[in-house]
Structure 1
Amino acid sequence: MLPKHRSTQSRQTEERVSTMEEHDSGGLRRALTGRQMSMIGLGGAIGTGLFLGSGLAISQAGPGTIIAYAVCALVALVIGWALAEMVVVHPMAGAFGAIAHTYLGPWVGFVQRWTYWTIQVIAIGGEVIAAGIYVQYWWPSLPLWLPVVVLSVVMLAANAAAVSFFGTAEYWLSAIKVAAIIVFILLGLVLVFVGLPKAPPTGLANLTAHGGFLPHGISGLFLAMVFVLFSYIGTEVVSITAAESADPVRDVPRAVRRMVLRLVMFYVLAIAIVLTVVPWTAISQEGTVTESPFVRVFAGAGIPAAATITNFVVLTAALSSANTNLYLTTRMLHSLARDGYAPARVGRLNRSGVPRDALVLSALGLALAAILSVAAADSAYVALFGVSIFGALVVWILILLTHWKFRRTRRAKGLPDSPVRLWAARVTVPLAILFLTAVMLSTPFIDGLQSAWKAGVPFFVLLSVAYLIVRRRRITATAPETASQDSADRE
């Protein structure tokens, strides 16, 4: 039961909840279908990591990497379902960042949204540079900056068009890599159990040979989980599309279910095929297309031009991921502007219903990629990698904390349950938080991830200072208006 004399903050919170329950989309057009939302989710989650980046995890856990992908899939499922439960009730612009603003306070909403914007801008730059490198595979004499700039312009054009056009473009980009993964899995199953004219069946021997299923023990399995976890970044994408969904109550849970199940199937089965067909000790960590596990399987099946086919698929995966991330960053900025934590003009929409100025600002990642491709062509991708690790973990933890407060608040107010309910949330949410916290605490001791805390902690300090400055300006700006209203009320 609520107290008789409520605080101003409590009244503002109730008013905000009420506003969100009216399905406030912030002026964005509800034009995305459930099928497009599912593919956008896959587009954000399946980048180049599955095709090229699995070698590092495999070197830590060997065949046990299959377990790592399965466990991290469960964590992704908890995050995705927790988001669906909240977003079905509040399908608004800004998604989890705006909901966190309500249930955990404005500071959390500010930090979470700006953090998410930053890490995705970094991801955009990394994926576009990777795409440029894949183009150079066919035309080695091309300077890296040229494909980076051309691909960036194409993505900007796709995002500047109506959201329905973006949804269609992303649907087909995602469909290409999904089709490639399905073909890879089916072909791999044939190689394992049946064999081909030039390739006898491999059987399951590679899963236990070369040191056993867990050659480096439990510690190696945990290290693999740290690297595998970041393959699932992007499971939160569907929640952001809710503000532009034609029917969020129906489509959001359906899209989350499809996306997570497909991610589990694609990641776990694909990695299982790789580790069954190719000895884990032979899988390279170099991250080049010619050393991709996908190339090894295609070549083993006698498919001509295996490296060329894989390069095309990986290029598509990079573009799809970058395209989706550009969409995400644009919508996050639009949400921040609507709450007064970014310049007001950033929240304005063009005639197509797209926040154009937010798109321009979010394109900073593309500009950074182009600059780095000229100034540091050999190290640009590495320079952008890893800076966003700390932020991604914080965003996920805050999503789960928001879900905990969401349920507690609605229960205290006697509000009905969400149409979508995360199963066993009292157990699954705390376990997921503990797992993510353990990964965060372990990053300083893992080669390649030491920069997470060194970059992450100062970044959050700067964000907190920025919040205090912006909040003080907002209070100052609204004070005369409030005083004028109070004077009118007294008269």
Structure 2
Amino acid sequence: MPNSTPTTDTGTPPQARDGVSLSSGLSSGLKQRHLSMMALGGVIGAGLFVGSGAGIAAAGPSIVVAYALSGLLVMLVMRMLGEMSAAYPSTGSFSAHAGRAIGPWAGFATGWSFWVLQCTVVGLEGIGAAHIVSGWLPGTPEWAWVALFVVVFCGTNLAAVRNFGEFEFWFAALKVGAIVLFLALGVLAVAGVLPGTEAPGASNLTDFLPHGSQGLVIGLLASVFSYGGLETVTIAAAESDNPVQGVARAARTAMWRIALFYVGSMAVVVTLVPWDSKEVVTKGPYVAALDQLGIPGAGQLMNVVVLLALLSAMNANVYGGSRILYSLVERGQGPKALAKVSSGVPRAAVLVSCVFGFGCVVLSYWRPQDVFPWLLNMIGAVTLVVWIVIAISQLRLRRRLERESPEKLAVRMWAFPVLTWAALAGMAGVFFLMARQPDTRVQLYSTGAMMLLLSAAGYAWQRARGRARD
């Protein structure tokens, strides 16, 4: 940590105002082009390229409706988060906002649960990437590839924040290029103007709800959790030259990005490929669509794209996890030993996050039947809990901002507070649907138990700190 005492935008020491500080110990090495490309490509993940296949198999062509509904919810969440992050730039993002709006215990619970989520996903994405590479190089151990990927991204995040930004810039550019090319080919094929193809018309769309409303529900739940990664740009903005501008631009472009990349590509896939095609699940919907068009080497091409998406997610999760951890420590909610900053990088937090992530990989080999599934269930609904906290925080902070600092509202939530309440109602609906499904019910209860424990720990810490001050 720097020797001088950092200050907030009001000139008061950190933690003196609402218990939240700005991350003044970190560098501002991210450029606007980094944030712009992260905002553009951050929504394109392996969940879209591969995981959407299970949703299509369950919902059929109605998966387009499922992605549109969940996409609308995510747009509202991103707008709310953008409003708060533009007003209060912080590497703690929603965790810092929750501490400011609800109480330090809420920032503690959401911050630590999100850190566990990020680090666990580092391991999961590494396993997925290693599986692809091992398929190209048979006989090579997957754990060794995961270790290599973790070391590489740990190194890039330890060196300087601009290294993370450069990696994400090019990862995002390649993902955006791939999805735009897919959409262009798909639209031409649907229109019947792509050489060697015939327009499919609506032949694959007639059985719109093959499994009824139950199938749509499964597709909706699958789509909700494929939108992970949107939070990273608000975390990264705090380390940019102009955090307010970066967050504002990301929030304002979220709508068309989601509509184009998710809803648009799902519409192309289900129009080109029969929803009940086995290839949609076994190969992935995008490979199945490219095979339908007779694109040579489609499978290997998409494997490269999926690998890039997985590596990008690993890089982003190492970054996001380390910054959330640093923010927690900076607010006095974690071990002081992790507060060490060198050359503007929280290196202790980066190392601990990487070690935890690789530890999850070890668990997947060592205890695949009990401990590892328990860990996966525990993080299953964290994203939804974070969204709810974002909405509650925005409800409280917006009124405070309008009363005390209206000039900070560079981004405004649409139709406040109506759409904020509508978003909360939508999230409650998702919770209800999760409770009705056996698989997601286990995740819901496991995440709920973790959040209760963390909230109790955060509240105990808050009370103890209050007594110490008295």
Question: Residue 400 of structure 2 corresponds to which residue in structure 1?
Answer: 409
Deviation at 1:325, TM superposition (A): 1.1
Give distance in 1, aligned partners of 2:240 and 2:448. 35
Give distance in 2, aligned partners of 1:206 and 1:119. 37
Choose the corresponding residue for 2:90, options 89, 92, 104.
Answer: 92
Question: Residue 4 of structure 1 corresponds to which residue in structure 2?
Answer: none
Give distance in 2, aligned partners of 1:379 and 1:274. 36
Moved more, 116-125 or 214-223: 214-223
Give distance in 2, aligned partners of 1:131 and 1:206. 32
Q: Note if contact 2:77-2:391 (Cα within 8 Å) is conserved in structure 1.
A: yes
Q: Note if contact 2:86-2:410 (Cα within 8 Å) is conserved in structure 1.
A: yes
Deviation at 1:435, TM superposition (A): 1.0
Give distance in 2, aligned partners of 1:147 and 1:83. 35
Choose the corresponding residue for 1:332, options 324, 336, 345.
Answer: 324
Question: Residue 391 of structure 2 corresponds to which residue in structure 1?
Answer: 400
Question: Residue 3 of structure 2 corresponds to which residue in structure 1?
Answer: none
Deviation at 1:201, TM superposition (A): 2.4
Deviation at 1:266, TM superposition (A): 0.6
Q: Note if contact 1:79-1:236 (Cα within 8 Å) is conserved in structure 2.
A: no
Residue 221, structure 1, aligned to residue 212, structure 2: no
Question: Residue 487 of structure 1 corresponds to which residue in structure 2?
Answer: none
Question: Residue 258 of structure 1 corresponds to which residue in structure 2?
Answer: 253
Structure 2 unaligned residues grouped into runs of 5+: 1-11
Residue 344, structure 1, aligned to residue 344, structure 2: no
Letter in 1 for 2:208: F
Question: Residue 313 of structure 1 corresponds to which residue in structure 2?
Answer: 305
Question: Residue 8 of structure 2 corresponds to which residue in structure 1?
Answer: none
Give distance in 2, aligned partners of 1:284 and 1:447. 26
Change in 2 beyond 3 A, CA 1:60/1:374: closer
Choose the corresponding residue for 1:165, options 163, 166, 170.
Answer: 163
Letter in 2 for 1:310: M
Identity %: 36
Mark the structure with the bigger radius of gyration.
1
Secondary structure class of the residue paired with 2:332: coil
Question: Residue 416 of structure 2 corresponds to which residue in structure 1?
Answer: 425
Moved more, 454-463 or 48-57: 454-463
Q: Note if contact 1:34-1:252 (Cα within 8 Å) is conserved in structure 2.
A: no
Question: Residue 280 of structure 1 corresponds to which residue in structure 2?
Answer: 275
Give distance in 2, aligned partners of 1:155 and 1:186. 32
> 5 Å matches for 1:322-471?
322-351=314-343, 353-372=344-363, 374-375=365-366, 385-413=376-404, 415-416=406-407, 418-471=409-462
Letter in 2 for 1:467: G
Question: Residue 5 of structure 2 corresponds to which residue in structure 1?
Answer: none
Give distance in 2, aligned partners of 1:130 and 1:379. 20
Deviation at 1:164, TM superposition (A): 1.0
Question: Residue 488 of structure 1 corresponds to which residue in structure 2?
Answer: none
Change in 2 beyond 3 A, CA 1:262/1:433: same
Structure 1 unaligned residues grouped into runs of 5+: 1-10, 483-491
Change in 2 beyond 3 A, CA 1:324/1:439: same
Letter in 1 for 2:232: V
TM-score with structure 1 setting the length:
0.86
Give distance in 1, aligned partners of 2:320 and 2:354. 12
Choose the corresponding residue for 1:155, options 153, 156, 170.
Answer: 153
Q: Note if contact 1:326-1:362 (Cα within 8 Å) is conserved in structure 2.
A: yes
Secondary structure class of the residue paired with 1:141: coil
Give distance in 2, aligned partners of 1:437 and 1:285. 31
Give distance in 1, aligned partners of 2:61 and 2:75. 23
Q: Note if contact 2:49-2:306 (Cα within 8 Å) is conserved in structure 1.
A: yes
Choose the corresponding residue for 2:59, options 54, 58, 61.
Answer: 61
Moved more, 436-445 or 422-431: 436-445
Give distance in 2, aligned partners of 1:447 and 1:421. 38
Question: Residue 7 of structure 2 corresponds to which residue in structure 1?
Answer: none
TM-score with structure 2 setting the length:
0.90
Number of corresponding residues: 459
Question: Residue 71 of structure 1 corresponds to which residue in structure 2?
Answer: 69
Give distance in 2, aligned partners of 1:18 and 1:384. 31
Deviation at 1:71, TM superposition (A): 1.5
Choose the corresponding residue for 2:48, options 44, 47, 50.
Answer: 50
CA RMSD after TM alignment: 2.7
Change in 2 beyond 3 A, CA 1:228/1:36: same
Give distance in 1, aligned partners of 2:466 and 2:15. 20
Question: Residue 247 of structure 1 corresponds to which residue in structure 2?
Answer: 242
Give distance in 2, aligned partners of 1:19 and 1:367. 30
Deviation at 1:434, TM superposition (A): 1.0
Deviation at 1:305, TM superposition (A): 1.4
